[in-house]
Amino acid sequence: MYRARTVLTNLVPLASLIPRAAPDRFASWILKSDHILCSITGTDIRHYSSSVATEPFLNGSSSAYVEEMYNAWLADPKSVHVSWDSFFRNSSAGAAPGQAYQAPPSLAEPGRNQLPITSLAPLLGAAGAPALGGQVNEKVIDDHLAVQAIIRSYQARGHLVSELDPLGIMYADLHSTFSDRKGKPHEIVIRGHHIAKLDPLGISSADLDDKHPPELLYSHYSFGKRPSTTYSQHLQQKVASMMEQEGDMDRVFKLPSTTFIGGKEKALSLREILSRLENAYCRHIGVEFMFINSLEQCNWIRQKLETPGVMEISSEEKRLILARLTRATGFEAFLARKWSSEKRFGLEGCEILIPAMKAVIDKSTELGVESIVMGMPHRGRLNVLANVCRKPLEQIFTQFAALEAADDGSGDVKYHLGTYIERLNRVTNKNIRLAVVANPSHLEAVDPIVQGKTRAEQFYRGDGEGKKVMSLLLHGDAAFCGQGIVYETFHLSDLPDYTTHGTIHIVVNNQIGFTTDPRHSRSSPYCTDVARVVNAPIFHVNSDDPEAVMHVCKIAAEWRATFHKDVVIDIVSYRRNGHNEIDEPMFTQPLMYRKIKTTPHVLDKYSKRLIEEGVVTTEEVKDVRDKYEKICEESYLNARKETHIKYKDWLDSPWSGFFEGKDPLKVSPTGVKEDTLVHIGKRMSSPPPNAAEFVIHKGIERILRSRMEMVESRTVDWALGEGMAFGSLLKEGIHVRLSGQDVERGTFSHRHHVLHHQLVDKATYRPLCHLYPDQGPYTVCNSSLSEFGVLGFELGYSMTNPNALVCWEAQFGDFNNTAQCIIDQFISSGQAKWVRQSGLVMLNPHGLEGMGPEHSSARLERFLQMSSDDPDYFPPESEEFAVRQLHDINWIVANCSTPANYFHILRRQIALPFRKPLILMTPKSLLRHPEAKSSFDEMTENTQFLRVIPDQGPASQNPSSVKKLLFCTGKVYYDLKKAREERKLEGDIAISRVEQISPFPYDLIKKECAKYSNASLAWAQEEAKNQGSWTYVQPRFHTALSGSRDVSYVGRPTAASPATGSKMQHLKELNALLDDALSL
C-alpha cells in the first residue's frame, strides 16, 4: 500500500497536480467507497515547452485534423462533437494549459482502482479542491496512513496497556493508567510488546524486572534526530508529530473499513479517534484477536467492541448483576462463618465468576442451547453448584457434616463432586440442563472428559452443528498454561470426529499458582497464550468491573453461537485467602497480600457505584443481602436434620431408565445366529456394492478375498471376529465407536474398516456402516497423536449413554501410560468415588515379540494391581458366581487368546445389566497366526465368553497321568503349545488359559486343579517376574486351593525394563522360558 506507484495517464486534467520538482516521489492511499476499495496512484507525465504541447494528443500528424475541427467549430459549434465544443469553449475562455479538456460524464460504476475525480476534492486541501489545480498533498496521504496504522495498533496491541488488574499491581512500573493518558496512545500501542495492564491488583509487575527492551520505549527511536528507516518508524514519527500539534488533533480523518469507532459517522477528528480507541481497547477489557486469519471474524469482534455505546446496559440489567454478585459473595461469607476451619476452596476475590457464568448461560440459552456440560477445578466449585446450577443448599451443607453415606462407594471430598440439574432459566424462560462433571485434584484432567460427554450428547440428539449442546470449561491461570492436557484438548477442537463446535473457556486468573508467581510458572506473557494455536479470541477483563465482565461474556456466547469455535475469557482477579482457607499466603507473597487486605470487595465497589448512579438505594442493597442470608440460614437448619449423605445426589451423568426393571445379575446371551455372522462377514469381505469405479488397493483386494474364504469355511481371524462383534451389536441398534491412533486401518494393518479410493481424494467406504438399513451408527476415527486427551474424551463419551460400545485403542499398549492420570483417577476409581459407571473398552496391544522395551508391554501388572477384588477371599460358589464378581469389582482385565472369546467379551459389555470398564490386552503376532482362529461354532447361539479355556488335547483325556499343569494367559499359550508338540509332551503337560484375569476365576481354577490331581502346578508368563500377572495371581491361587498345593513361577527373571532391545537376547530368553515351562 505504501510503496505503490500510481498512474493517472488518462486523466489529463490531473497532470498539473503531479509534483514536477520531484518526479520520483509518489503516494498511494486506500479510500473506502460504498462499493469498492480503490487505490489511486500517479506517475510522471512528459511536459513540453510549447503551451499547446500541454495537450498530449497534439502532435505533427494530428495538428491538421485539429485545425480543421477548429475552423468547423468557428463556423458552427454544433457541427462538431460536444467534446470538441467543450474543449474549444474552455480554450477560448482562457483555461490554463492542460485544463481545457473535460471528460464526458458517465453513469457507469467506476472500474477497479478508479474513482470519480470529484471524490478527491475534499481530501486535497481547501486551495486545490475547487479547481483541482493545486498539488496533491502527500502529507495528507501519509497522515491518513498514519491514522489507519494507529487504529490497527490499538486493535492489535491495546490489550497490552489495558487496566485489567483490580489490585493495580500488574502494571505499577510498566505503563501509565488510562486516566493519566488523557486519551492519547501509549508508546507500547504504537510500537510495543507484551507489557500488559491486566492485573486487578496491579501487582504483576511489582516483582518483575523493571528494565524493558529499548525497542519497547518510545524514546528509543529519537524522533526528529535521524531519518526513519522503516515503515513503522515512519508512522510513529507521524503520530508523534501530529499529537504535538493541537491543530492536527482536531483535523478530521476518513475512517477505514476496518474500524467501527465512528458508528454512523464516516470521519472523525484525530482527538476523537484516539479517545474512542482508548475507551474500546485500553480500559478494563484487553482483547487478543488480530492473529485470527479471518477478516470476517476480526471485523465481527471489532464491531462488538468499538461501536459507540455498545457497553451501555439498562438499570434492570445492573440490578441483576448486583443481585447475582450479592449471592456469590454471601454464599462464601456464610460458609466462612459456619465452617471457619474447613477447606472449601472458596471464590473470594473472583466472586464475579458466578454472574459471568450465568451471563454466558443466559445468552447461550437465548441463542438456542438446551444443555451445557461444565468442567472446573475445585476453586469456587461449591459456589457454582449453589448459585449457577442451583443445587439445593441443604445437600451442599450436609457435605460439611461428618455423616455416614446411605449408598455404596468410598465418596470424594465435597469440592470434587459433580451434579446434574434440569431447571428453568428465569431470564430466558427456557429449560436448561446443566451438568458439572466430577473431577479429581489433577487440574485440567477433566477437560477432555467434558468434551467427550458434550460430543456424545450432541451425537445422540442429532445436533451436528453444536447448536443445542455446548461445553463450558473453567480453568485456573497456573494450570491453564502449565498442564499439557489443555493443549491436547484444544487440538481436538476442530477435528471432525472430536469437535464440540466451540467451547467457552473461563480462566479464573488469581495471578498466582498456590505459592508460585507467574514469572516462575510460565514463559508466555499471558496464561492464555495456549489458546492462540486454534485461533481462539482471548478476552482479558478486570474482575472489578462487573459490567465489562458481562459484556465479554455475552460476546463470547455470541461468538460461539456464530462461528462455533473456541473462545477464552480471562477474568483477571485475585485470591483473597491462601491456596485454601487455612493457608497463610503472607509467607510467600507479602506485598500482594498487603495490597489485597486493603482492597474492597467487588460487591462493595459495585454497590457504591450503582448507588451513586441512582440505580439502587442503600436500603435495596442491604435488603438483597439480608434475603440471601435468610435463605442460607433456613437451608442450614434443614441440613442439620439430615442423618445421612447420598452419593447419588451428586451424579453427573444419570442414565434414566437403564437400571429400572432389570435383574442386576442376569446377563443377556452373547452368541448370535450363524446367518448374522455370515451376512456381516460377507459385507466385510466385499468392496462397495454398485460402485464398479471404486478403485481398491491390490493389497486390500487380497485381504477381502481371504476374508471371504474364511467366511465360506466358517472360521474367523482376529479382525473378522472383532468386526462380527461390532456388526452384531450394530444390528441390535447399539452405537459402536472405535477411536485411537490409526484405528481405521489398525496399527498392524489388520482391521481396514475404512477403504480408500486409490484415485479420488477423500472417497472412502466403511463396510460396517452399510450392514442393515436400521442398524445402529458406527463411528471409527483416527485420533490426534494423544493418549491422555483422547482416552479422556472417549471416557466422557462412554458416560453419556450406557447403550453404546465405546472403544479406545492404543497404538501400542506401552503408550497407555501417557494417559495414566485418566486410568488412575477416573477409570479405575470413578464408580467408587462418584457412583458413576462406564463401559469403556481399552484395547492395549501387548506381547513380547522382540520389538524392544517400548513395543512389548501394556503394563498388565498396573491394571491388576488396581483391581479391587480381595486376594484372600473366595466368594461363595453359586450360579451367579461370575456375574456377581463382575458386579462387585471396579473393572475387568482380560487377555484373550481366541477371536471367539474376543467376540464374546466385547458383546458381554452390552449384555451385562450394569457397566464396567474393560481392560483388554490385545495381540500383535496373533492377528495373523494360523492357529489363532475360531470356528463359527464358538460364536453361535448358546455359546458364551470362557473365563478359562481348559486343555482340550490328549492330556485332558487322561488327566490322572498328567505330570504338569501350566496356567498362562494370552499369546504365550501358542509358544508353549508349539514347543510341547515339538517335544512330544502332549500327554504329560496340560496347558490351561486364564482369559479373564480379574476378577479372578477362583471357581474354574479350583475345578481345573482338581481335575489334574497328580500334576505339579505352574504359572507361565512371558513378562518379567515383577511384571505381568504373577504378583496378582499368586495369592489368588493360594486362596483358590486353600493353600493345599503350591504353584511355581515360570518366566523371565525380574527386570527394570519391560523387554530387551536385542533380538538375539529376546530369543535366548524365550527358549529359556520354554525349557523351564516344559521341564518335568
66-75 pLDDT, tens per residue? 888 888 888 8
User: By CB neighbour count within 10 A (0-12 exposed, 13-18 middle, 19+ buried), where does 996 fall?
Assistant: buried
- How much is the average pLDDT of 38-57? 42
Helices (H) and strands (E) in the chain, counts: 36, 30
Give the residue, 140 or 573, on which the prediction is more confident.
573
635-673 pLDDT, tens per residue? 999 988 888 877 777 788 888 888 888 888 899 999 999
- How much is the average pLDDT of 261-286? 92
What pLDDT is attached to residue 227? Answer: 47
What pLDDT is attached to residue 27? Answer: 35
Give the residue, 655 or 773, on which the prediction is more confident.
773
Give the three cell numbers for residue 249.
488533533
User: By CB neighbour count within 10 A (0-12 exposed, 13-18 middle, 19+ buried), where does 410 fall?
Assistant: exposed
Per-range mean pLDDT, top range of 155-169, 246-260, 360-374? 360-374
Distance separating alpha carbons of residues 204 and 216, to the nearest angstrom: 18
Give the three cell numbers for residue 944.
458364551
Contact 269, 250 (CB under 8 A): yes
Instruction: Name the percent of the chain in helix, strand, coil, to the closest 5.
Output: 40, 15, 45
Q: What are phi and psi of 749, to 5 degrees?
A: 55, 45
**E strand segments, 41-83:** none
906-938 pLDDT, tens per residue? 999 999 999 999 999 999 999 999 999 999 999
Q: Tell me how crowded residue 231 is: count the other CB atoms within 10 A of its CB.
A: 13
What pLDDT is attached to residue 47? Answer: 40
- How much is the average pLDDT of 573-580? 87
Give the residue, 644 or 4, on which the prediction is more confident.
644
Q: How does DSSP classify residue 664?
A: T
pLDDT band at 57 (very low <50, low <70, confident <90, very high): low
- How much is the average pLDDT of 749-778? 96
The residues pairing with 780 across neighbouring beta strands, listed in sequence order, are 738
Residue (of 393, 325, 391, 341) closest to 573 by Cα position: 325
Q: How does DSSP classify residue 687?
A: -
Residue 859 clears pLDDT 60, i.e. is over it:
yes
Contact 969, 895 (CB under 8 A): yes
Residue 196 clears pLDDT 80, i.e. is over it:
no
Distance separating alpha carbons of residues 25 and 568, to the nearest angstrom: 47
Residue (of 477, 492, 410, 491) closest to 444 by Cα position: 477
Per-range mean pLDDT, top range of 171-180, 316-325, 514-523? 316-325
Kindly give, in sequence order, each residue whose CB lies less than 8 Å from that of residue 267, ignoring residues fewer than 6 positions away.
252, 253, 254, 255
Q: pTM of the full predicted structure?
A: 0.85
Helix (H) or strand (E) holding 842: strand 841-845
Residue 216 clears pLDDT 80, i.e. is over it:
no
Kindly give, in sequence order, each residue whose CB lies less than 8 Å from that of residue 139, ignoring residues fewer than 6 positions away.
none
What pLDDT is attached to residue 117? Answer: 52
Q: What are phi and psi of 1073, to 5 degrees?
A: -60, -45
Kindly give, in sequence order, each residue whose CB lies less than 8 Å from that of residue 949, ignoring residues fewer than 6 positions away.
897, 898, 901, 992, 993, 995
Give the three cell numbers for residue 1029.
500377572
pLDDT band at 97 (very low <50, low <70, confident <90, very high): low
What pLDDT is attached to residue 577? Answer: 84
Distance separating alpha carbons of residues 723 and 778, to the nearest angstrom: 11
pLDDT band at 119 (very low <50, low <70, confident <90, very high): low
Give the three cell numbers for residue 181.
493518558
Lowest-confidence segment of 467-476, 536-545, 591-600 by average pLDDT: 591-600
Give the three cell numbers for residue 876.
461363595
Helix (H) or strand (E) holding 993: strand 989-994
Give the three cell numbers for residue 299.
471485523
- How much is the average pLDDT of 107-119? 57
Residue 29 clears pLDDT 70, i.e. is over it:
no
On average, the pLDDT of the chain sits at 86
The residue whose grid cell reads 470356528 is 935
Q: What are phi and psi of 988, to 5 degrees?
A: -100, -25
Give 241's Cβ-side CA count (13 Å radius): 14
Q: Give the SS3 label for residue 841.
A: strand
What pLDDT is attached to residue 100? Answer: 74
706-761 pLDDT, tens per residue? 999 999 999 999 999 999 999 999 999 999 999 999 999 999 999 999 999 999 99
Residue (of 334, 1029, 995, 997) closest to 632 by Cα position: 334
Residue 17 clears pLDDT 80, i.e. is over it:
no
First to last CA, the chain: 90
Give the residue, 341 or 928, on which the prediction is more confident.
928
Residue 541 clears pLDDT 60, i.e. is over it:
yes
Kindly give, in sequence order, each residue whose CB lies less than 8 Å from that of residue 621, ignoring residues fewer than 6 positions away.
322, 326, 607, 610, 611
Residue (of 400, 399, 394) closest to 635 by Cα position: 394
Kindly give, in sequence order, each residue whose CB lies less than 8 Å from that of residue 264, ignoring residues fewer than 6 positions away.
none
- Cis previous bond, 496, omega within 30: no
Give the three cell numbers for residue 54.
500541454
pLDDT band at 8 (very low <50, low <70, confident <90, very high): very low
What length is written for the chain?
Answer: 1080
What pLDDT is attached to residue 194? Answer: 38
What pLDDT is attached to residue 143? Answer: 84
Q: What are phi and psi of 923, to 5 degrees?
A: -85, 170
Give me the percent of the chain exceeding a pLDDT of 70.
Answer: 84
- How much is the average pLDDT of 372-397? 92
Give the three cell numbers for residue 421.
440439574
